[in-house]
Amino acid sequence: MNASSAGPLQQKVSVLRAEFEKRHAYWEKKLNNPEIKHLMAEQLYASGQAFFAIYDHKFIPALNAQDKKQIESALHELNAAYEAHRTIVDQVVIYTNKTAQTLEAETAQVISKGEIANYVMVLLLIAFASGLGYFIVSTVKKTFGYGSC
């Protein structure tokens, strides 16, 4: 890669950086869970910023100077910064998966308790209907003299 072919790369990185900042602002406002907010709004953001700092202050100057050693060194640092960022992304995924599993289990318990409550209500309704039916039948029998129940 040379300085003249860097234009499309710089445009793409500019778009990615803008999206990164936009997503950071969104999650900064929307996250309520302090652990996930710490991972995303602090650690993940810092690792992304580190990547862009290497890009801006090492890679682009090396590219503009066409210094192959410096380009390779900057690419190595960019790769390491990306891996560090990716590790935090993986931590976020693991944490959110665990949180989702916990929520899913709690939801299943609530649904199970709701189902039990529904069964109890049905049994009570059947008992009430049976009692009411017995009362009506016995009242009709007594009223019309069909004997005792």
Mean pLDDT of all residues belonging to the chain: 83
* Model confidence band, residue 148 (pLDDT cutoffs 50, 70, 90): low
Q: Is residue 148 part of a domain?
A: no
In this predicted structure, what is the pLDDT of residue 27?
85
Q: Which of 125, 149, 145, 124 is closest to 137 using CA atoms?
A: 149
Tell me if 90 is assigned to some domain: yes
**Structural domains counted in the chain:** 1
CATH number of the domain bearing residue 80: 1.20.120
pTM (two decimals): 0.64
Which range of residues forms the domain containing residue 22?
3-111
Two tokens at 77? 């640092």
Q: What is the torsional sign of CA 27, 29, 32, 37?
A: positive
Is the residue at 55 inside a domain? yes
DSSP letters for 86-118? HHHHHHHHHHHHHHHHHHHHHHHHHHHHHHHHH
And the tokens for 122? Answer: 């049905």
pLDDT band at 5 (very low <50, low <70, confident <90, very high): low
Please report, rounded to a whole number, the percentage of residues in the chain having pLDDT higher than 70.
87
Lookup result for tokens 């995924």: 93
Tell me whether residue 32 is in a domain.
yes
